[in-house]
Amino acid sequence: MWTEEKLNDLLTEPSEALVEDMKRLTGDILVLGAGGEMGPTLCVLAKRAFEKAGNSSRIIAVSRFSGEQERQLLEENGVDTIQADLLDPTQRAGLPQAENVIYIAGRKFGTANQEWETWAMNASLSGVVAEQYKESRIVVFSSGNVYPLCSVYTAGCSEEVPPAPIGEYAMSCLARERAFEFAANRYGIVIDLLTPYRFSVDGKTVEKRFQGGLLGHWSVCTKASVGIFNRLKAVAKDAAIPNELLTLAAEVTDFNAAVFDAKNGFAGCIPGVHEVLRRRGVMEGTWCLDPGEVMSPGQAEEIDRCEAMYPHLFDER
């Protein structure tokens, strides 16, 4: 006879493949929105996989925990819990950093007549969380609702189908994906090169890695970029990534933000590239085809700061 306890045991029994993954994973896992439909069993599953893998890292579950049942289940199974409202900036700022983040926070039920709250939870919050954990590896739950309706006689939508969300909930879900997509493209260059990506193809697991990267960096500091690229490729298949490379990821992100003028919507992107080349003696000035396209106020000072802090990211003068 099926019981809730038996169902929970089934849902939280890790596969051999998951245990093997947990043997290679470094750092704690922070689960944001852990009190929802899938959060408790997901956290317990991850904790049991850690235990079988002999990995002493923690699973940290964050939620408002409106009911004590979910929190009790987690703590009984060795999962650390933090009660916090992610929409509260003060509470959010007090959360610990973690190398790995699983983001499953969201609002689905009760959207009608409270669309503003759904957008705040699904869209606005996603952007600030992506910024707060920009140095972490982040997994974000998606939703089929971002795709258009299709006939029940078809196999459904694939990832090649352009998103066409219907209704405010579905639109807010697409906004959540775009927020994290922006962060991944803005902050994830070094991490992408260090991370293997696994896919199931015809029932077999296929592992792929990025073969290129640092493209923006190559445009201004080619020699330094080649050195960084070769260094990353040399250690990419190691079981553990050195901490200094995680620091390098943040440094490259900061460097790119200064040169390409991320603070001002990339308005000074091309002049910023020209400025670095000018300092290296490659160009005589920062002129662009459009005379009005110049560096933003404070951008030169930002490049000064990065040049002083991260000389290893710049080519020799």
**Residue-level pLDDT at 84:** 94
Model pLDDT, residue 222: 77
Q: How confident is the model at residue 207 (pLDDT cuts 50, 70, 90)?
A: low
181-195: pLDDT as tens digits: 777 656 555 555 555
pLDDT at 255: 83
Q: What's the CATH code of the domain at 164?
A: 3.40.50.720
Q: pLDDT-based confidence at 101, cuts 50/70/90?
A: very high
User: pTM for this structure?
Assistant: 0.61
Which parts of the chain fold into alpha helices (H)?
4-11, 16-24, 39-53, 68-76, 89-93, 115-119, 125-132, 168-187, 189-194, 215-218, 222-235, 243-259, 269-279, 299-309
Together in a domain, 168 and 286: no
pLDDT at 130: 86
Same domain, 81 and 139: yes
Residues near 14 by beta carbon (within 8 Å), at least 6 away in sequence: 22, 45, 48, 49, 52
Largest Cα span, the chain = 80
Q: How many domains does the chain have?
A: 2
158 and 219 share one domain:
no
Q: Supply the pLDDT for residue 182.
A: 74
Q: Are 287 and 274 in contact (CB under 8 A)?
A: yes
- The residue segments making up the domain with residue 287 are 214-313
Q: Please say which residue of 198, 229, 257 terminates a domain.
A: 198
Q: Which of 150, 174, 198 is the last residue of a domain?
A: 198
Q: Provide the Cα torsion 213, 218, 224, 227; round to 10°.
A: 40
**How far apart are alpha carbons 189 and 224 in whole angstroms?**
15
User: What does the pLDDT look like over 33-92, one tens digit per residue?
Assistant: 998 888 899 999 999 999 999 999 999 999 998 878 889 889 999 999 999 999 999 999
Residue 31's φ and ψ, nearest 5 degrees, are -105, 110
pLDDT (mean) for 167-179: 88
- In whole angstroms, how far apart are CA 133 and each of 23, 32, 63, 102, 165? 23, 11, 17, 11, 27
140 and 263 in a single domain? The answer is no
- The more confident residue out of 114 and 192 is 114
